[in-house]
A and B are shown apart, each in its own frame.
Chain A
Amino acid sequence: MIRTHQSLKSRSALTAVRRGSPDLAKVPPTTLVDTLPPAALDHLWLAVSFPFLPLEALGQVRQQPMVVVVQQGQMQKVITPNYSAQRSGIQAGMTLIAAQTLNPALHAISRDIAAESNRLQKLALMAGNWTPAVSIIENNLLLDIAGSTRLFGGIAQLLEQIQAWIASEALSPCVSVMPTPASAILCARTGKSLCITAREHIHGAIREIPTQALVTDTKRQQALNRFGINTLGDLLRLPRDGMARRLGPDLVQKLDKLLGRQPDPQKAITPPPVFHQRIVFDAGIANTEQLVPFMETLLEELQIHLTRHHILAEQFEWHLLNESDSSHRIPVYLTHPHRDAFDLMKLSQLAFEKFKTKDVITHIALKASCFAPMPSSSKDIFSTLPKSADYGTSLVDRLQNRLGRHAVQGLCLQPDHRPEKAWGHCKVGETSALSHGAQRPLWLLETPRSVRISQGQLVLGGQVLFLQSQRERICSGWWDSHPIRRDYYHARTATLRVWIFRDLNSGNWCLHGIF
């Protein structure tokens, strides 16, 4: 049973009308026949495509002619023209120059993929209203609605609700209901608003779709053109083994998934367990110490949230809002993920120590969006004492929260011959294993100190320096902005062992390290 709520012809007629006026996009589509046998609803997928997603993501749905462009090599190509640009004949795939020739008043903006995926994420979370299994597949939403039809009083009602919602959110979205996920997406992408519930009718529904919709790579597309195959119906008539040999087995798999001959499991997105709660004070608080009970409440709520999601917080931050509406952000860093409210409170207090404000605080909010999965480890029955490693991480946490992350660092070696660049700071507890041949000092001076020469002898702080070992020449770094050409020597005074060098460019002697 095929329920095409608009034939291909009438669909294109409607599209033409819609192009004339964007408001018409919100008109609910033609009604559908209800009463379906329950057995047919084992697999039912609803796909939504958003033809104007790049424009919507940029918040640029306007009347003036406008296109979204991407840079491809030297050229800028149009990917999404808006209605008024389409009216002047601009199509997706044109170069920007060609489009501007057609309409000199054209406004071009470049694509923002991050904004698009943000928008899709948002829409996907909203679609959770109808089903828990929502996936995002190549800028389309895919909803598994098999389990939801009964709840919403039949497929027609459900589809109507979803269409009303999506039409209010996006510009001329295309909604298609099919028994397999691949066919639902294919139909939605090609602009076919169908509602088909039986597998045996998929073939008839996708027969007319051109092969370009499924075969994207140009080489295979050319091959298909040579064979005289233009639609999926033609493609499905080909013998399987020959198609697998000539066009690759993955195309056969694609077709199988399309028709439901092969399972096609989908990964549903799970909403991120973001925590954001705030407390508003009626009177306002002037002293940060008075915040403590409220912070404790918020942290306890965070702990409950973390326990429920079986996760640990990696980082969280406090937001304080003043009467004058200026907000303060106080991040709390954790070296190791935590969820214990008592520990988090102690770390927060350290982070708050540096915070000073004269204004009255009216809001406090706790935000956590970085999480780590709860490690699953079994405990030793005999161990009762906490390991010293626990002390270590909590110490680093405390130090970093009070002094700042940049103040507490580890040391590492760098693969460079220049003494200044042979080391670096790194994340606490990490290091790189590199071996150094020649002996190096224990102290290095940040800026080399110049060594005086008096009566043919090197003098450091009133003491005569004696050179000890053979020189070590270090000439390196000509490729960047800090080239050095130096001869290094070990030297000693009566009491000190030092590392000095003579700059080969200037001839000056400098003290650089102490053994």
Chain B
Amino acid sequence: MSLESCLKRRDIWRGKKAARSEDAVATGFAVLDRHLPNGGWPQHALTEILVENITYSPLWLLIPALGEIMPARSWQIWIAPPAIPYPPGLSQNGLDLSKILMINITDQADILWSAEQALRSRACSAVLCWPGRLHQSATRRLQLAAEYGGGLGICFQDESALHTHSMAALKLRCRNTDDGLCIDLIKCRGGPLHQNLTVQHPSSQSTATLKTKEQSCQ
């Protein structure tokens, strides 16, 4: 095996400089853009996002990127979301509802099959899925499908997946803290693993806090 063929392998980590210059889409949050390789969410790749409570998946973190890549391709597919992605809210945040495809299924095999089909199809700018617990081979399949199809693959999981081995290009963990959402990079292909990147919800700068009045809640 020659050195060249060794270097061509994607799973050999060669430090930040040697990283393949991949497409990435800006996250819309300065802190994240600064610390993620290529300055954003990696396209042609799978990103795993671990959250404390799956129902409160921080969708707002992805909305700017989803809006930006939406016009390029036919669909954005949401597979088995934990609650209703609320169309009026999505529409207000600049997403085109006619390009969103909802897949409501519960069987994990079907979820993974549809996610792989969608990522592989080259018709989806993004695929968001909530598959439950992912096995390593499943992450590999999805990662390969995303590499082939070129979309943005996002998998939301809960924190039990923190120590499982993953083939995803990016794996990050979101913690809710008093300052905002705190993001730790668990795995990051082509970049160092930064910790404690704090991101503020976009609405938090604008509104003033009012304390609940006692009589209003009786």
Chain A interface residues toward B at CB < 8 A: 388-389, 391-392, 394-396, 398-399, 402-403, 407-413, 419, 422-423, 425, 428-431, 436, 439-446, 453, 456-458, 461, 465-469, 490, 492, 494-497, 502, 507, 509, 513-515
The answer to whether residues A495 and B176 also contact, given A388-B122, A410-B101, A445-B84 and a CB cut-off of 8 A, is yes
The answer to whether residues A515 and B210 also contact, given A391-B123, A442-B89, A495-B181 and a CB cut-off of 8 A, is no
Contact B101 A428 (CB under 8 A): yes
Q: Which of A389, A407, A513 contacts B89 (CB 8 A)?
A: A513
CA distance A393 to B27 in the complex (A): 29
Question: What's the least CB distance linking A182 to chain B, in Å?
Answer: 50
Binds A, one of B7-15, B36-44, B110-118: B110-118
Contact B207 A469 (CB under 8 A): yes
Question: What's the least CB distance linking A144 to chain B, in Å?
Answer: 48
B24-70 with Cβ < 8 A to chain A: 53, 55-57, 59-60, 63
Contact B212 A467 (CB under 8 A): yes
The answer to whether residues A442 and B59 also contact, given A391-B74, A395-B117 and a CB cut-off of 8 A, is yes
Main secondary structure on B side of the interface with A: mixed
Question: What's the least CB distance linking A474 to chain B, in Å?
Answer: 13
Instruction: Pick 23 A–B contacts, CB within 8 A, sort by A.
Output: A395-B118, A395-B121, A395-B124, A398-B117, A399-B114, A402-B110, A407-B104, A408-B103, A410-B100, A411-B87, A423-B87, A429-B98, A431-B96, A431-B98, A436-B88, A436-B92, A439-B89, A442-B59, A442-B85, A445-B83, A456-B212, A467-B216, A468-B208
| In the A-B complex, the 8 residue pairs with the closest CB atoms | A392-B74, A495-B176, A392-B123, A391-B123, A444-B86, A431-B98, A456-B214, A440-B88
B193 at the interface (CB under 8 A from A): no
Q: Which of A395, A407, A496 contacts B75 (CB 8 A)?
A: A395
CA distance A399 to B113 in the complex (A): 9
B180 at the interface (CB under 8 A from A): yes
Given contact pairs A395-B118, A422-B87, A495-B178, a sample of 9 additional A-B residue pairs in the complex whose CB atoms are under 8 Å apart: A391-B121, A392-B123, A422-B88, A443-B84, A443-B89, A458-B212, A490-B207, A502-B216, A515-B60
Which of chain B's residues has its CB closest to A466's CB?
Answer: B209
Which of chain A's residues has its CB closest to B181's CB?
Answer: A495
Q: Chain A residues near B203: list those with CB within 8 A.
A: 490, 497, 515
B165 at the interface (CB under 8 A from A): no
Contact A443 B86 (CB under 8 A): yes
Chain B interface residues toward A at CB < 8 A: 53, 55-57, 59-60, 63, 73-75, 83-93, 96-105, 110, 113-114, 117-118, 121-124, 176-178, 180-181, 201, 203-204, 207-212, 214, 216-218
Q: Chain A residues near B218: list those with CB within 8 A.
A: 507
Main secondary structure on A side of the interface with B: mixed
Question: What's the least CB distance linking B2 to chain A, in Å?
Answer: 34
